[in-house]
Amino acid sequence: MKRLNFGALALILISTLVLANLSAASAEAPASISFSGKGYGHGVGMSQIGARGLALAGDTATAIMNYYFPGSDVMPLTDDQVLRVNIGHQLTSASLKSDTPGMSLQLISGDGTEPQFLSVLAAKDSVKLSISEKQIAITTTQVGITTVLTPVDSLTIRWSGTRYLAGPDSVLSLTHTKKTTKYRYGQIQVKVIKDAKLGNRLEMVNQVRLHDEYLWGISEVPSSWPAAALEAQAIASRSYAMSKVGKVLKSCDCELYSSISDQNFAGYAKEAEPKWGKIWKAAVSRTSVTENTGLTVTRNLLPIRTYFGSSSGGVTETSKNAWGTDVGYTFSVPDPWSLDPKLNPNFYKWKRDVTQSVLASAFGLPDVESVKVLSLNETGSVKLIEGKSSNGKKVKLSGETFRSRSKLPSTWFAPTSEELVSVKN
């Protein structure tokens, strides 16, 4: 007869009780929590929906900028700087090719100041980039023949029809992370930069002139919008970019990202839109004063960082409320156009269900039993929100942090069990 192991039995009983308690706790946490709100984006600076509304009412682009950035001046500044725009961040691989007949594609070791040519390719040829320890591995395919080149520390890519290489106007296609983007202007530079968490990664930068090559590729609002709204966007995009000139970030080898982190630079796609592309280019041109100057929003003769977003909760937000820092030129102004269902059909009001896993991750809790808005900013956006776990633990987050982590459209929100404006400061 086997002797009963009381230690093992006790361990089984304890484990059973723990699992039972965990199951009971999980049962108390809802599968999701619903939120209702209004507006889309951080709400700081220019409301793009508001700019459209003002343009429809007859306001000029300058008047729109003065409205959303009161106390600032719109004036021409030199804008012929060459920007470093990141078009590939933390990549493990990328590929390039061009289908333009008669084009030429150059691969150059280094930054291009003292060209050391690695290869010259033609239309239909392709290049694949990857990482070889701390260097860039390069594989070319020409007429069906694959060649592996010697890895390099940095790489410059030029194609014909640009300021960097004469020849027929060409379009270069860059593919990475299952997405292909076309570029008509500039040159591309590639480096390997080590990320603290991910290790060595490729960083790809498109060097383009701000005045035209960069602005022609900005895809922030539909080109079908009123002329003054398009011009206001061009001025805002120019001013934002100019505020970042010369400030190269080591993490991306760039001054600007081509994504929502800064503003959406779509390369040649915006300019190449059937019918509408030329309308956007014309709007950019109308905000140019000379061949190397353009209308810019300024304070003390210097460009300001003209934040903008889709829409607000009825009034715009300040940088202090959104990010905790007062930059001195963002103010809260009425933005009723954002609440107009005709102008803003998707976000004049909205409702979202946030899953339990997302809520738990946002608050850093094992689960979230309930959420509670603790305070609002004077603009009506959420200032502080609290998540409570089924084990009783509570965590507080700023409204902007919670919005970002939970992917809610804006900080003008409330759990559907509460009224959107019921919480007092």
pLDDT of 37-58, one tens digit each? 999 999 999 999 999 999 999 9
Q: Which residue has the tokens 């300019």?
A: 271
- In terms of pLDDT, which residue wins out, 341 or 29? 341
Which tens digits make up the pLDDT trace of 191-222? Answer: 999 999 999 999 999 999 999 999 999 999 99
How many residues appear in the chain?
A: 425
CA proximity to 381, closest of 291, 295, 321, 339 = 321
Is the pLDDT at 143 greater than 70? The verdict is yes
Where are the strands (E) in 153-246, listed by range? 154-159, 172-176, 179-183, 187-195, 199-209
CA distances from 157 to 108, 137, 151, 163, 185 (A): 6, 14, 15, 13, 12
Model confidence pLDDT, tens digit, residues 246-277: 999 999 999 999 999 999 999 999 999 999 99
Burial pattern 16-27, b for ≥16 Cβ within 10 A else e, equals eeeeeeeeebee
Query: What is the pTM assigned to this prediction?
Result: 0.89
* Predicted pLDDT of residue 28: 76
C-alpha–C-alpha distance, residues 20 and 276, integer Å: 62
- The answer, yes or no, to whether residue 138 has pLDDT greater than 50, is yes
Average pLDDT value for residue range 79-86: 98
pLDDT of amino acid 418: 60
H-state helical runs in 287-398: 319-323, 356-363
**CA angle, residues 334, 338, 343, in degrees to nearest 5:** 135
Q: What is the mean pLDDT of the chain?
A: 92
What is the Cα gyration radius of the chain? 26
Strands 256-257 and 82-91: parallel
